[in-house]
Structure 1
Amino acid sequence: MPLAWFWFFSFLFGLCIGSFLNVCIYRLPRGMSLLAPPSHCPACGARLGPLDLIPVVSYLFLRGRCRRCSGAISPRYPLVELLTGAGFLLIAREHGLHVHTAGLLVLFSVLVAASFIDLDHRIIPDRLTLFALAAGIPLAALQGAEALKDGFWGSVLGGGILLIVALFSRGGMGGGDVKLAFAIGWYLGWQETLVALFLAFVLGAFVGVLWALRTGRTLKTAIPFGPFLSSGAMLAVLTGDKLISWYLNLWGG
């Protein structure tokens, strides 16, 4: 398959996964089943048909309104779909057709759902983390003993560092963040996990300072760390090798 087609289908696949992630984002924190009831309008409860579920296109065609009751549909639904599609495309371009790529797509999907749920509810559901682990460990094993070893130490490092932060922050870091970092390590390995955590803390500190200056609140006010952890992980996925090489060359030269 030519690379352009591989990238194109990766984007389309990401749009479809993004549509499912919208379901996860809404239902998981509410303890609802992901399979039943079928997708429906949150305003009038009308069941959505196949034409209403086409990622992004349905939203544009219906002009952001329910076909039955004309109730407004949140623009976040197509945003999540486009974000997931773009992420799938970037990962496919960076890593190609490989088992490792499949694992990174799984990880990205989990991180998108975890980020939006954390923003809305200040929690990261255990079901998401357990799914990431259930998929990540066998995917690492398929890549060989070295990848499995690297994933193990990545999980110990990622989860361990955030556990220490959680213990010393006295509530500033949640258990969901620790578990998510543990899962991330299985996919990234120990080196890229370090990069991911570094970037997450830098992003969190930067946004936290801006938020404090704008709102007048102190830096001790808790803000969800899941989106920063997810952003750091994905930046590590896309640029981790380059950042590590740059750092080594900087000190080696």
Structure 2
Amino acid sequence: MGVLLAASALAGLLIGSFLNVVVHRVPLGESVVRPASRCPGCGHEIRRRDNVPVLSWVVLRGRCRDCGEPISVRYPLVEVGTAGVFAALAWAVGPTAALPAYLYLGAIAVALALIDLDVHRLPDAIVKPSYLVALALLALASWGTGDWGAYVRALAGGAALWFLYQVTVIVKPGGMGYGDVKLAGVLGLYLGWWGWDALAVGAFGGFLIGGVVGLLVMLRGGSLKTKVPFGPSMLLGALLALFVAAPVADWYLTTTGIAPSA
């Protein structure tokens, strides 16, 4: 398991470096492949040796080699954060055929959360292709584990969570963006494959975290009209559900008397 965690963390560092490009360029409608990364200050192309995750930023002391323009600390933080997400998911999923699917979820979660915080938008360029990628990777996961019931559950979960958010938008127009509805279907696929308890906890967790964030915004001087991106709450709720769904579900069933206590 230690080797798997280390390999996943390393992959997270590398993917995190790419996600920095995605987060910057996708909202602008720019290609994430070309041109190569350049310093926004002097326009010089970033050298390969200066593009090593985290290490290059430390060696350069957070500045461009050519002009000395400061490089935001957010870049290494995204790389380290993605490494942490990948390692945590590897620990939760284990060395199974489902790991690629959930690492992909971790990658888009980091990118979409940051983009939503930056521009209050969940780009179709990431969300829509994620349906096809999720369906393909989860099919591979079911083939590898032999659990095709999980794939059927994923399809049901994706439809159910999409429908829940669609109804929410209809009942309370302006309460959330339609990008949240589209993201809900993707998250429902992953949560459904994981289990019904994950689907329930992940759905509830997103609204709970969003409510807490909204309350904190109001306590800091905001109002009910303050625009707060909901995507990060949805994504965090879904990821947390992969780790806590089973104990939370057991606690709820025992507390309500639905299931007998041990």
**1:90-111 deviation digits (Å, cap 9, x = unpaired):** 1111211112121111011111
Count of aligned pairs between the two proteins: 250
| Structure 1 residue identity aligned to 2:190 | Y
5+ residue gaps in structure 1? none
Distance in 2, Cα, partners of 1:45 & 1:162: 43
How do 1:1-253 residues align onto structure 2 when only pairs under 5 Å count? 3-142=1-140, 143=142, 144-189=147-192, 190-215=196-221, 217-250=222-255, 251=257, 252-253=259-260
CA RMSD after TM alignment:
1.3
For the residue of structure 2 that corresponds to 1:99, the secondary structure is coil
Query: Taking structure 1 as the reference length, what is the TM-score of the superposition?
Result: 0.95
Identity %: 39
8 Å CA contact 2:23, 2:115 repeated in 1: yes
Structure 1 runs, 4 residues or longer, greater than 6 Å off:
none
Q: Which amino acid aligns with 2:68?
A: S
Amino acid at match of 1:150: R
Letter in 2 for 1:109: A
TM-score (norm 2): 0.91
Q: What's the CA shift string for 1:227-248, capped at 9, x where partnerless?
A: 1011101101222223223323
Residues 209 and 219 of structure 1 are in contact (CA less than 8 Å); yes or no, is this contact kept in structure 2? no
User: What is the alpha-carbon distance in structure 1 between the residues aligned to residue 100 and residue 248 of structure 2?
Assistant: 22
Alignment check: 8 A CA contact 1:172 1:222 kept: no
Give the C-alpha shift of residue 121 in structure 1: 0.7
Alignment gaps of 5+ in structure 2: none
What is the alpha-carbon distance in structure 1 between the residues aligned to residue 197 and residue 153 of structure 2? 9
Q: Which residue identity does 2:69 align to in structure 1?
A: G
CA shift, 1:188, in A, is 1.4
The residue matched to 2:98 in structure 1 has which SS? helix
What SS is found at the alignment partner of 2:225?
Answer: coil
- In 1, Cα distance between equivalents of 2:108 and 2:220: 31
